[in-house]
Amino acid sequence: MVGSVGTIALAAAVASIATASPAPPRPKVGTFSVPQVKNPGFKPHGPAQLARTYMKYGAKLPDGLARIMADLKVFRRDSGSAKATPEQYDIQYLTPVSIGTPAQELNLDFDSGSSDLWVFSTEMPAGSVNGQAQYDPSKSSSAEEVDGATWNISYGDGSASSGVVYKDVVTVGGVSFKSQAVEAATEVSEQFQSDTNNDGLLGLAFSTINTVQPTQEKTFFDNIAPNLDTAAWTADLKYHEAGTYDFGVIDKSKYTGDITYTDVDSSQGFWTFTSSGYGVGNTSFKSSAFEGIADTGTTLAMLPTTVVTAYYRQVSGAKEDPQQGGYVFPCDASLPDFVFGVESAKFTIPGQYINYAPIDDSTCFGGIQSDEGIGFSIWGDVALKAAFVVFDASEGSPRLGFAKKNL
C-alpha cells in the first residue's frame, strides 16, 4: 500500500527528474591493446599441463597420470591492447592488470575457458602464498566489499579456490571499469600455490558461468563491451614469444587474407564451435565435424581420440605412455603439421608447435592429447597461437573468427 508520504516522495522524485541535468553518458573507450609479459623461471612439464586441464573441467585423472602427479607434486595452474608473455614452453600467457586506487599490478592469465576475475589477496594465509603478487583491498580507496558475496571454483582433484568479492577499479591496457567484481582469494588450491608467476585469472568466457553467489557478476569484457567500437576481442598469441590481446578492434595488420567466422554455441558458457575436420601432414583432409571450445587458459590441444591416434600414427617412435598420461615421442622425431577446419577454411598448426616439452633427455610430450573423459574438445594455446582468433559478441549472437597470420 502506498500512503500519503510515499505519494509525496514520488512527486518529489518526478520533479527532481524533470529539473535535474541528465547524467552524462559513459564515455566510449573505443579500442585498446594489452601486451603479454615475460613469465620467467617456469619448469615445463607436459603431464602437469594435462592434469591441469582435467582438473579445470572437473574430469577424473587417469590412474597413470594421477600417480605421476602424486609422485612429482607438480600441480600448477573501446580499442586497446594488452601484451601476453609465455611461461617457458608456452605453459601460460600472463598479462598485466591494474586493480584499485592507487593501482596494484598483478599478472593474470586471460582465460576464455572461465568467467571469474579472481586474484591472490592479502586475505589468504601467508603459507598459501609463494611469491605471487597479492591484491590488498585495504590499500585501495576505491575498494568496496560486496556484502555476503562469495565465490568458489572446484577442480577435478577435489581441491578448490574460493574467497570474497570486492568492487574496484580494474584497468587493462589503459582502459578502466570502475566497478568490476574482483574475487579476492581466501583459499587457493595447491596447483595455483606452486605457480609462482601467476597472480590469478581474468575470465573471458560468458558471464553465465561466473561462480559468485548469491548473485553472479559480469566479466570484465561484458562490462566494457557497450563502450567498445566493436564488441569483440582478439587473441594474437605467439610461439615462444609475447603476443597481444586487442579489445574493440580487429587489427588488419595482425592477419593475412580473410577472417572465417563460425557460429558459437554459448549455452554452456564457453566459446564452443564446430570444427569441420582435420588433416595430418600431407595426408588428405578428413571431413569429420567435432565440437570444441576455444580456450586461451589451456595450454594443450585436447582432441577426439580418433584424431589424436591418426596424428601420432604419422610420428616415428610415438606411443601412448600411461605413466605420463598421454602421447610421447623421441625429441628428435620429425612431427607433421596438423590441419584443422573452420567452415570451409583450413588452418595449420606447425609440427614444431606440437613438440610441447621434454620429459627427459630423449623423450618429449605432445602438445596434442586425447579429450577422453572431459566431454568435449579443447583448442588450447598450442592451436590458438597458429591463427589470429576473434571472439566476437557484436552481431547479437556470438561467433568466432579465424584468420591466417605470419607464423
Residues classed as catalytic: 111, 275
Cα separation of 120 and 163, whole Å? 10
* Chain centre to alpha carbon of residue 78: 20
Nearest to 170 by CA among 199, 205, 135: 135
Cα separation of 131 and 231, whole Å? 36
* Cis preceding-peptide flag for 40 (omega within 30 of 0): no
| The amino acid at 218 | K
Cα separation of 24 and 27, whole Å? 8
Which class for 141: exposed (0-12), middle (13-18), buried (19 or more C-beta within 10 A)?
exposed
| The amino acid at 139 | K
| Residue 287 near residue 276, CB atoms below 8 Å | yes
Nearest to 319 by CA among 52, 64, 20: 64
* Cis preceding-peptide flag for 22 (omega within 30 of 0): no
| Residue 37 near residue 197, CB atoms below 8 Å | no
User: Which triple of cell numbers denotes residue 192?
Assistant: 595455483
User: Which triple of cell numbers denotes residue 194?
Assistant: 606452486
DSSP secondary-structure letter at 340? E
